[in-house]
Amino acid sequence: MRLAVIIFLLGITLLQFPALGYPLLSQQTNSTNRSIDPQTSAEDKKIYAPDSPWLILPLLSSNPKLATAAGLMTAYLHKFDEKSRASLFGISGKYSSTDSLVATIFAKASWKEDHHRLVTSLLVGQINNEYQNYLESGQTVNTQDKIRAAVFRYLYRFGGHWYAGVQASLTNYELLGKSAAEDELLDIVGLVGYESKGIGLAFLYDTRDNDFKPMRGWYLNGNNLAYQASQGNGAFSIYRLDIRNYIPHGQANVLALRQRNQWSYDAPKGAYSPVYLRGYTPGEFLAQYMSSIEIEERLSLSERWTSTGFVGMAKLYGDGADRYDNTNFPAVGLGLQYIMKPAAGIVGNMEYAVGRDNNSGFYIKMGYSF
């Protein structure tokens, strides 16, 4: 834990001292290179003024899936016009103590006075896992996941705070046991990899004042993906609903609430709904349906620092849930954040979360969890 804190603080320190010789972190004196929201307070503008549009942040996580993984994220921040949200373009990579490697290229863009929004990413990786009591089988299983995935979502604002659009996903996911016995167990529980191409619709209602560090507002996103039949798997569909509310109180404090759902229909078990809570590894606990709720208190400590405390509960139900003695998955945790780009609301985030059955996770990443 001490090493993780040192890594977090070192990354933040490098961002504050461009004179150390890192060209990507050099200060910008040309005002066209800065994206200062006109709504930003005078104090925040003073803090933001010398910042570079580049972000460099060390990444660290420790959980049952990737063991201990470290990496780096580099991104470029840009604002296409004053009424659009901040856009982010970047690349990240992580390597773990289990010889797992994951790399991602991503983009999150808003333009034409926020009438157009785009989110897209490309992910490749190989993840070596060791699961204790895998899917309540009573056995320890070592698996190797090979994954290549691309996702795309485009939204158009058709009125007020309402958006509608399309999304697509291309996934090639291979799940292998590391021995004949482990392959047999995966076959018994019916968990297999899959190759799929999906397309669907997305709707969004968004009154948040900021994408990365919202202080107030509502966020409601509903979407689906309909996947084609391929490689022995029939056609299947996945539906998601994500509702969030941000309530300001006190001196720059925020109470954040989230209710999240995923429902799968006719999906292979490898594409079932996972537990989406900090402290758990997505993919370790699966069932046909998942619903969760999270409550997070975000306290302002100073101009640049915030802290978080959060609790959550997820429930698995539908096909596959009967393999668990208890289908409720609680989580609790704490976090510390440094505001790297005040005007854009981008933070470096360090969190620790604990779930049931000795599940836990430690993370250094960009942004709040929601």
pLDDT at 284: 81
The CA angle 126-130-135, to the nearest 5 degrees, is: 110
CA 357 to chain centre: 23
Calpha distance 354→356 (Å, rounded): 7
- In tens digits, the chain (370 residues) has pLDDT values of 444 443 444 444 344 433 333 333 333 333 333 343 444 444 444 433 456 899 999 999 886 555 788 999 999 999 999 999 999 999 999 998 888 899 999 999 999 999 999 999 999 998 776 666 555 556 666 777 788 889 999 999 999 999 999 999 988 865 544 444 444 444 444 444 567 789 999 999 999 999 999 999 999 999 999 998 876 678 999 999 999 999 999 999 999 999 999 999 998 887 899 999 999 987 789 999 999 999 999 999 999 999 999 999 999 999 999 999 999 999 999 999 999 989 889 999 999 999 998 899 999 999 999 9
pLDDT in tens, 266-320: 988 878 999 999 999 877 899 999 999 999 999 999 999 999 999 999 999 999 9
Q: What domain count does the chain have?
A: 1
pLDDT in tens, 141-183: 677 778 888 999 999 999 999 999 999 998 886 554 444 444 4
Residue pair 354/331 in contact (Cβ under 8 Å)? The answer is yes
Q: What are phi and psi of 322, to 5 degrees?
A: -70, -10
Print burial letters for 288-303: b (CB count within 10 Å at least 16), e (below 16): bbbbbbbebebebeee
pLDDT at 140: 63
Domain limits for position 71: 2-366
Calculate the alpha carbon distances from 150 to 64, 170, 350 in Å: 25, 5, 27
CATH of the domain at 170: 2.40.160.50
Calpha distance 352→7 (Å, rounded): 15
